[in-house]
Amino acid sequence: MGVFRIEEADRPHMWRLLIMWVILSAIGIVAVLQISYPPYDQSIQGQDQAGTLRLLTVIATPVFVAVVIIIAYSAIYFRRKTTELVDGPPMLGNTPVQIAWVTISATVVLFLAIVGITTLASESVAQAVGAPGRSIGTGGQTGGGGTGEENKEISVQVIAQQWYFTYRYPDYGGVETTHLYLPVNHPIELHVTSLDIIHSFWAYELGVKADANPGVDNIFHVTPQKTGSFRVRCSELCGLWHGSMTDSEGQVVNQADFNTWIAQQQQDFAGIAKAVPSYAPYYFPLPLTKGS
């Protein structure tokens, strides 16, 4: 191990790099703080994800700036000026530098670990993935719908199939719909399943992405906090029309509009209700292979 020492001739380079790094990092941090990060803030869970992404970007910015300016500076000032091939001065290690980078790296990693643990322990994430949902009903006997109880979770079943998502609302008589409507500021319990092969339900602006597997009831919780539309798409390669398995007509609406909409859906659904099986956690259509 050598002794940490900067040659007199190198000190101007060090100061230039340091000053450039501080200035560009400050500019970079201010710039990245201006960015609106996906999946934005339409749900509490999405807002948490956007906040984490913003934090990671802010931390990564000085590192990124340091790497880029060192490469650029070295390419400009330390490039070989003669055609002869000569080795550079030997570098035999530098204890202070090694201690510094290990300490800084460890500090950043530990800080992110603390942030991660704190986030996982937060109420919104616990509500999203950890809290046990109430049991869902079967046989079309679930809920009366429209009880108006505040903060009572509404169950919504997401049914993936090649190549579209449909939705069932067990709290409203098991009505099935072609679009996903959710009331604002109301906790939602999503039950994601599939009728055929593996899909993935991704409600982008809500910050929800959940596997949709046949025979599996995959539960996810979300609380929309802003009205407006959101996009739904499949994020698991699922065949010929996977790229078209999208819907841009998902809506977060106020409670009154939701009540009006679900009432209309129930009315429309009445014509086919008898033919649709009772609500169940999942459906497993048979036969596996269609006949000849």
Partner 1 sequence: MLRRVSFVAAGVVIVVIALVAFVGLFMLPRPGPLEGTTTLHLETVAAVGSALEWPRPNDPHPDWVGYLPTTTWHVPANSTIQVQIDQEDGASGLRNPFWGKVFGTEGGNMHVTFFDDKGTPQESDMTSIDPTQAAHTFAIPDLGVFVPLLAVNPNAPANSTNVITFSFKTKGPGRYRWQCFVPCGAKTIFGNGGPMQTIGYMGGTLIVT
Contact between 176 and partner 1 per CB under 8 A: yes
Contact between 164 and partner 1 per CB under 8 A: yes
Starting at the edge strand that comes first in sequence, how are the strands of the sheet with 218-222 ordered?
Answer: 175-177, 164-169, 154-161, 188-194, 218-222
CA distance 176 to 193: 14
Q: Which of 124, 127, 162, 227 binds partner 1 (CB under 8 A)?
A: 162
52 vs 246, which CB is nearer to partner 1? Answer: 246
Closest CA to 208 of 264, 165, 149: 165
Q: Minimal distance in Å, beta carbon 280 to partner 1?
A: 13
CA distance 216 to 214: 5
108 vs 263, which CB is nearer to partner 1? Answer: 263
Q: Would residue 25 be called left, alpha or beta, if left means φ above 0 and alpha means ψ between -120 and 50 degrees? A: alpha
Beta bridge partners of 183: 253
Q: Which of 94, 163, 229, 235 binds partner 1 (CB under 8 A)?
A: 163
Structural contact between residues 208 and 49, judged by C-beta atoms closer than 8 angstroms? no
Question: What distance lies between CA 202 and its chain's CA centroid?
Answer: 9
Contact between 261 and partner 1 per CB under 8 A: no
Instruction: Choose the stretch contacting partner 1; rule: CB under 8 A; options: 13-21, 60-68, 111-119, 157-165.
Output: 157-165
Closest CA to 219 of 227, 230, 211: 211
One character per residue 208-247, x = contact with partner 1 (rule: CB under 8 A): -------------------------------xxx--x--x
Q: Which of 50, 156, 159, 262 binds partner 1 (CB under 8 A)?
A: 159
69 vs 232, which CB is nearer to partner 1? Answer: 232
One character per residue 88-127, x = contact with partner 1 (rule: CB under 8 A): ----------------------------------------
CA distance 249 to 122: 31
Instruction: Choose the stretch contacting partner 1; rule: CB under 8 A; options: 58-66, 99-107, 121-129, 264-272.
Output: 264-272
Pairing mode, strands 188-194 and 164-169: unpaired
**Residues, the chain:** 292
Contacts with partner 1 by CB under 8 A lie at: 159, 161-164, 166, 176, 178, 195-197, 239-241, 244, 247, 268-269, 271-272, 275-277, 285, 288-292
